[in-house]
């Protein structure tokens, strides 16, 4: 369905649950878990602005993305965000606490790049290289990012194959949108505001995540006032693809506790 220039697939029965994808992908990345989740929730599967069937917006910031989504989603909902989508879920929970209920992050780092006081990220040069190579090698850059997401997973080959299969199913995101999303990943540092997010929260994190190290997930769970940690052993950045049973169990148990 189309709401305020957003493509949001709605289905299932129960309390509303919004699913937010990460950089470079689209809402279809959740396809492997939606049937099971739809038994317990009314799912709102979002194509973030500029991806799939959703129009882009400017400026492209966590705050403007949050405002766009909050207008299109139900009056009260739980939210599950993956990677960049997790940073967006944190932002929505902080700015709109009356509308956002329980919060789940997946493979999310409050600060994706390393800093002098933050070793729990990846080197800034890695993300900068992705941004620079988009100009001359759009498709190759996206595929290399997928490889980083799968790296370290005990099912890395299968995860990478699935990500590549899904990548352009809903079209090719605009280069400007991809660049703006990388800018968020490069610059966003949510550590100072995490303690202000008071919703009950579950941090789902793969033990072998090469993009958002496990230590970042541990920090996030410790500093969210209502935070809980679910460590999925053997998983990397996309546990909902590689460890679907464990992921669905953790998510549904938390949301129905």
Q: Could you give the residue numbers annotated as active site?
A: 83, 209, 237
Q: What is the largest CA-CA distance in the chain?
A: 49
Q: Which residues pair with 35 in a beta bridge?
A: none
Residue 168: CB partners within 8 Å, gap ≥ 6?
none
Per the structure block, which two tokens stand in for 43? 């799912």
Residue given tokens 């299969």 in the structure block: 165
Q: What is the separation of C-alpha 124 from the centre of its chain, rounded to a whole number of angstroms?
A: 19
Q: Are 235 and 242 in contact (CB under 8 A)?
A: yes
> Which 8-state DSSP code applies to residue 54?
P
Q: How many CA atoms lie within 13 A of 232 on its CB side?
A: 30
Cα–Cα distance for residue pair 181/166, rounded to 1 Å: 19
């Amino acid at each position: 369905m189309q709401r305020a220039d957003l493509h949001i697939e709605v289905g299932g029965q129960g309390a509303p649950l919004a699913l937010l994808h990460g950089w470079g992908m689209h809402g279809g990345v959740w396809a492997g878990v939606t049937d099971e989740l739809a038994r317990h929730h009314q799912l709102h599967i979002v194509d973030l602005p500029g991806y799939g069937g959703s129009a882009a917006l400017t400026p492209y910031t966590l705050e403007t993305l949050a405002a766009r989504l909050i207008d299109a989603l139900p009056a009260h909902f739980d939210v599950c965000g993956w990677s960049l989508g997790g940073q967006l879920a944190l932002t929505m929970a902080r700015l709109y606490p009356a509308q956002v209920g329980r919060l789940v992050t997946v493979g999310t780092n409050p600060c994706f790049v390393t800093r002098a006081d933050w070793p729990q990220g990846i080197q800034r040069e890695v993300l900068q290289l992705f941004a620079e190579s988009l100009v001359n090698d759009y498709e190759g850059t996206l595929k290399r990012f997928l490889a980083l997401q799968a790296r370290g997973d005990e099912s890395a080959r299968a995860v990478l194959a699935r990500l590549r299969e899904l990548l352009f199913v809903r079209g090719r995101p605009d280069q400007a949108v991809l660049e703006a999303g990388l800018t968020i990943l490069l610059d966003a540092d949510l550590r100072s505001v995490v303690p202000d997010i008071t919703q009950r929260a579950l941090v789902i994190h793969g033990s072998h995540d090469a993009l958002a190290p496990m230590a970042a997930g541990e920090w996030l769970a410790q500093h969210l006032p209502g935070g809980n940690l679910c460590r999925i052993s053997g998983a990397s950045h996309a546990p909902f693809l590689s460890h679907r049973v464990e992921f669905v169990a953790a998510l549904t148990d938390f949301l129905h506790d």
